Structure 1
Amino acid sequence: MKLAKIIYGHHADSFQNLKIAGDFSDWEPLSMERSKDGDLWEYTIDLTKLPSGTEKVHFKFIDDNGNWFTDEDYAKELDSSSNENNVRLFTEEELGGKDFEIDDEGPVSPAPSLEGDFSENYYEPAKMPESRERDESVGGSAVIVNHSDVEDEGTRDLQSPENAETALSNRDQNPGQYKDVLARIVAFFTNLFRSWFG
């Protein structure tokens, strides 16, 4: 038997007899049952009594005074008369779909091969098409550079180190320039990853 529950769990003690009505009952009020611990109101829908292919039901709760209301814990939809109703979507398991297990090992990928040219197997992001019109869209997100990442040309020291040894020794002599280079590198990769995964 295929069953699905609708649960109302707010202030269960404030009702003597909470009711529910929906398209599964032709909008006739039906009494809900109080859970064993008394904290929840429940109604069980027999999915075999619903029309074939039904994937959701619309419903409202009815309090002791006959007031119809919706619950914020369920999705809502408007019907053809602009009435707001709660919606209960059924899962594959409730609908009798096949049970499935989640594979914790991630996607299956082919074993890596050492044969072949490196450039054939890997994307090289540094290569850009040579001919692009200025107004033609590249198709990706724009890279954003903060004003703090850009320095005025007049205040920058344009002298570059002659080799790797002088670059390391100049780091200690001018830490501001070194920090500026590191900040630009960090900003570049931050914006690059935002454009890829943003």
Structure 2
Amino acid sequence: MPVRVVEPSSPSQVAGTTQGNTLPQPCSLLSVGQAFSGTQNVSSLQKDEAWRVNVRIQGCDLDHGYLCGTMEALNVPMADTPVVTFWEGEIVDTKNYTFFTGKWGATAEDDIKHWTKFPSFSPLLSQVEADGGKSLDLSNYPYIFMRWKEQYFVNVGTDCGLTIAGFYYVCFSCSDGSINGFYYDPNSSPFQKLELKSTNDGKSGFSFSSYELQ
């Protein structure tokens, strides 16, 4: 949920992977109710600033590569209260979603530029360049790649001075629950970094196996 700042643009397949589009293995740290806390860097040419951010997962459906949750920014300068947004996510599982976004104004070139900022993506690069990663088996890969798209503001109006026009490229570590992300919006400062760690402060939310969303 960065401030809209227009700036000049910044100038081998994994061993053992096979075709089959196997879904990621369930990860206890990526589950309903799990909370994360950290910062988003919103630095630009005019300022250097980081917002404190809390995220909570509200729904997760691995079979369909879907998850959703809330994001709370705590020290937004132009807002009197914390700003909360609801987001929906796509899990890159090569079955439901590949590494190529294909929407939200992102080209394949934009995708590669952002994914390659994650060191854990390097072993996947050649195969992703070839077919978006469709032939990769990520079921046992220790990282889960996702896209998070904020859908609406929960507690403020659209005139709050923030934009949710873009989306986040996200890398989740299955070993420690840490999250790194980069925000993409052609009209905002580039590569705003999101850094979160699991807080393990209890779980609450809903399961798609028990509730039907309308």
Q: TM-score, normalised by structure 2?
A: 0.20
Q: Which of the two has higher C-alpha Rg? A: 1
Higher helix share: 1
Relative contact order, higher structure (CA 8 A, sep 6+):
2
Taking structure 1 as the reference length, the TM-score comes to 0.21
